[in-house]
Structure 1
Amino acid sequence: MNERPEIPDGWERGSVEANGIELHYCRTGGRGPPFVVSHGFSDDGYCRLDLARELADDFDVVLYDARGHGRSDAPDESYGAPERAADLLGLLDALAIENPILFGHSMGADTVAAAAVRSPDRPRAVVLEDPVWMVEGRDAPGGGSEDEGRGEGLAEQIARWQDASVEQVFEDEAWLGELAESSESDLAHRIADARRRLRPEVTRVFEAGLLDHREVCGDIEAPTLVLKADAEEAVRERERAIADNLSDGRLVHVEDAGHTVFWDERERATEELRTFLATV
């Protein structure tokens, strides 16, 4: 598995030491504000190449692989939000990134939120794509690339993926196989490759648990956009109550989107993102 996704000319990629481990990254460069992406569980930075391409003309986009994912190290220690936030802040230091917009999906949203609370003066703005908010009636992500309820047996599944071909991963995850048959075949192959690169240590993400955003949101000082999956009105109302804790925040439920908001409803999600970015 030495192959790497193609990236446009002028972009860079490599590894840096951050928080005592090696993190792999890909960077678009350019003169625009830095926009740093923290992916969700079982994905890697290259799973967000489409977002990077979308924003590359206006932002210096940085994609990176979280600990235990992709081409980054898999240390024999905790994988909780505090450790992942320290990784992210270390990455910013190593790449001399100042005043970034921090974007995170699901597990990555926890990472970004924890980093924004730990170092409130660092982010220019925060974007959270379907953070996992434990509310009555909906206590786990709604499918897609991540399922927070899969802790049991996950190590065995990861071991199976490590020895699998991309085609076997498609068979293992039917939705990925369907995606591969669509116009998003390249994305499906990048997601499958990310699955094959997972290390067993990532199961410690579940051991560490999730952030309680009812408490965390009140400590995020940066302007914040929350893009949530579509949901029935009762769930939306409970999620609005959590978002109300943000000092400078906006919550948008993206119609027809599941847990992977940008993959499910890319045009709508991108429009909301760009509208927000124009204000920060």
Structure 2
Amino acid sequence: MTQWHENIIMANGIHIHYYQAGDLSKPTIILLHGLTDSGLCWTHVARALEQDYAVIMPDARGHGSSDGVASGFSNEILADDVAGLIQALQLEKPILLGHSMGGMTALTAAVRYPELLRAILLEDPSIIDRSPQQAGSAARSTQMVKWLTDLKAMSRDELLARVRRENPTWPQEEYGPWADAKVAVDLAVCQSIGVIQRYWRDLNAHITCPVLLITGDVERGVRVTPETAHEVLRYWPAGEVVHIAGTGHNIRRDNYPDFMQAVQTFLHKVS
């Protein structure tokens, strides 16, 4: 990883930490991680893309080495952070690839800043039909806080043993960044979990750029149902959906080869 560039930049009023792989003279792709992950959780994907793209892997606010959530935490604020990063680095029409929370950030950024983006790719974003009461459920927040608190009480070796035991088919490159991200993340992001939800149709009705939605199997815990995946295509003028069977919410970790094939096929069309 010594060839990767690491930096902290001021954007949208906070310090955002990021890694950069590849040269900025190439087309740029920004990888947006999910809740409680970090930029380095994209390491395996970045290795596959860095020959053809400048790959930017930021830590979202409250995650990794970026500033915390004292000034707010929502889809809109996270999207503003990404826009600020794009502008601060003077990136020309980057592509966004987001997982889960990062997917919702990408969707929101495509609505708020369409002029800044070339396309977005979404790995099982949280486009779920929930009532406002369900989205802001205190019980969900409490459950997440307990889960993360328990993880933070473990040693790194214990964290690695747990993630390997629970996800034995993941590529080896995934385990270390996953464990390190859990140590670094601010518990406050889980306390704000309800805030980041937004009625997804409000977003999708305003998407104009090319979109790839990558989905997995509901029985394995994905957020996006087949019905929702079918419905979103009515909203996206240049939208595609790829289903990767046998995968759950962490699609790229469950089936890295098929995930990367879908990503690179789409990138070839839009780059």
Work out whether 1:17 is the aligned partner of 2:10: yes
Deviations 1:35-78 (A, max 9, x none): 00110001000010111110001000000100111111103132
Residue identity matched to 1:128: L
Give the superposed CA RMSD: 2.4
Correspondence list, 1:29-178, <5 A = 29-30=22-23, 31-135=25-129, 150-170=140-160, 174=162, 176-178=163-165
How many residues were matched structurally? 259
Call closer, same or farther: CA 1:150–1:184 in 2, change over 3 Å. farther
Provide the C-alpha distance between the structure 1 equivalents of 2:58 and 2:207, rounded to a whole number of angstroms: 22
Identify the range of structure 1 (244-253 vs 65-74) with the bigger mean alpha-carbon deviation. 244-253
Q: Which residue of 192, 208, 212 maps to 2:199? A: 212
In structure 2, give the amino acid aligned to 1:102.
Answer: L
Aligned to 1:272: 262
Residue identity matched to 1:271: Q
Equivalent in the alignment of 2:175: 188
Instruction: From the superposition, tell whether residues 27 and 129 of structure 1 become closer, same or farther in structure 2 (CA, over 3 Å).
Output: same
Q: 1:229 to 1:208 in 2, by over 3 A?
A: same
Identity, % of aligned positions: 30
2:244 counterpart of 1:251: no
* Higher helix fraction (1 or 2): 2
Partner in structure 2 of residue 229 of structure 1: 216
Return closer, same or farther for 1:243/1:204 CA change in 2, 3 Å cut-off.
farther
Change (3 A) 1:260 1:127: same
> Which range moves more in the overlay, 68-77 or 98-107?
68-77
Q: Which runs of 5+ in 2 are unaligned?
A: none
C-alpha distance in structure 2 between counterparts of 1:163 and 1:133, whole Å: 31
C-alpha deviation, 1:14, in angstroms: 1.1
Which ranges in structure 1 are unaligned for 5 or more consecutive residues?
Answer: 1-6, 141-148
Which shifted more, 64-73 or 159-168? Answer: 159-168
1:262 CA drift (Å): 0.8
Cα 1:123–1:40 change in 2 (3 A) is same
Normalising by the residue count of structure 2, what TM-score does the alignment of the two structures yield? 0.87
Structure 1 residue 202, shift from structure 2 partner:
0.8
TM-score (norm 1): 0.85
Task: Return the alpha-carbon distance in structure 2 between the equivalents of residues 75 and 248 of structure 1.
Answer: 34
Q: 1:19–1:86: 8 Å Cα contact kept in structure 2?
A: yes
**CA distance in structure 2 between the aligned counterparts of 1:231 and 1:240, rounded to whole angstroms:** 14
Check the 8 A contact 2:129/2:199 in 1, yes or no: no
Corresponding letter in the other structure for 1:200: L
Secondary structure of the residue aligned to 2:204 is helix
In structure 2, distance between residues paired with 1:202 and 1:37:
19
CA–CA separation in structure 1 for the residues paired with 2:169 and 2:231:
38
For 2:74 and 2:235, how far apart are their aligned partners in 1? 23
Tell me which stretches of 4 or more aligned residues in structure 1 moved more than 6 Å: 179-183
TM-superposed CA distance for 1:182, in Å, is: 6.4
